[in-house]
């Protein structure tokens, strides 16, 4: 029975350390010129979907939903359509790398940037979500959300 308890404890400790190991790997990935290693750690469709959700909420305040046949309805539909293609062109792996590098440079002034030096907070939001804050709270920090997808922790949102 004691052995079973130790195995459970070991598994919990391993699970708790797992996303921090991913952050360590992410530090190496953003300092490489290529994006091959970073590609395995990023879920671009999820990042684009989260950005679209935030943009749509902002547009909803400016352009209230109206009759689809009205001019305002037509404008809103085109903003949604153009927004999708703009996000696909803007949010790419080099953009992710450059955004993370820029956030670390703003937070620490280091060049080349070391992600581990710029992290002010990193902990679980839930059992399958992990939040990283780069920079001090109150000084425009960058938040990076990682989600457990299958057996890998992947970046699913960057809030700059």
pLDDT digits (tens, 9 = 90+) for 26-77: 999 998 888 999 999 999 999 999 988 887 776 555 555 555 565 656 666 6
Q: What is the model's pLDDT at position 58?
A: 63
Whole-model pTM: value is 0.83
What mean pLDDT value characterizes the chain?
A: 86
The pLDDT of 98-102, averaged and rounded, is 93
What is the 8-class DSSP label of residue 143?
E
Helix axes 44-62, 93-108, angle to 10 degrees: 80
Q: How far apart are the C-alpha atoms of 22 and 87, rounded to whole Å?
A: 26
Assess contact for 124 and 134: CB atoms under 8 A. no
Q: What is the model's pLDDT at position 1?
A: 81
For 17, the enclosing helix (H) or strand (E) is helix 2-30
Q: How far apart are the C-alpha atoms of 37 and 39, rounded to whole Å?
A: 5
pLDDT digits (tens, 9 = 90+) for 107-130: 998 878 889 899 999 999 999 999
Among 95, 121, 98, 92, CA closest to 31: 98
High-pLDDT (> 70) share of the chain, %: 84
Q: What is the model's pLDDT at position 97?
A: 94
Q: How far apart are the C-alpha atoms of 24 and 11, rounded to whole Å?
A: 20
């Amino acid at each position: 029975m004691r052995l079973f308890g130790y195995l459970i404890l070991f598994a919990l400790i391993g699970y708790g350390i797992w996303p921090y190991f991913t952050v360590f790997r992410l530090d190496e990935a953003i300092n490489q010129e290529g994006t091959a290693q970073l590609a395995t750690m990023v879920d671009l469709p999820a990042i684009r979907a989260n950005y679209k959700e935030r943009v749509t909420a902002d547009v909803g305040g400016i352009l209230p939903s109206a009759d689809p046949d009205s001019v305002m309805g037509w404008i809103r539909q085109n903003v949604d359509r153009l927004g999708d293609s703009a996000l696909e062109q803007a949010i790419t792996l080099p953009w992710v790398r450059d955004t993370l590098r820029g956030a670390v440079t703003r937070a620490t002034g280091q060049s080349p940037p070391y992600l581990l030096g710029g992290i002010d907070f990193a902990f679980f939001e839930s059992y399958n979500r992990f939040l990283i804050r780069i920079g001090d709270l109150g000084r425009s920090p960058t938040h990076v959300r990682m989600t457990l997808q299958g057996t890998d922790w992947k970046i699913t949102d960057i809030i700059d």
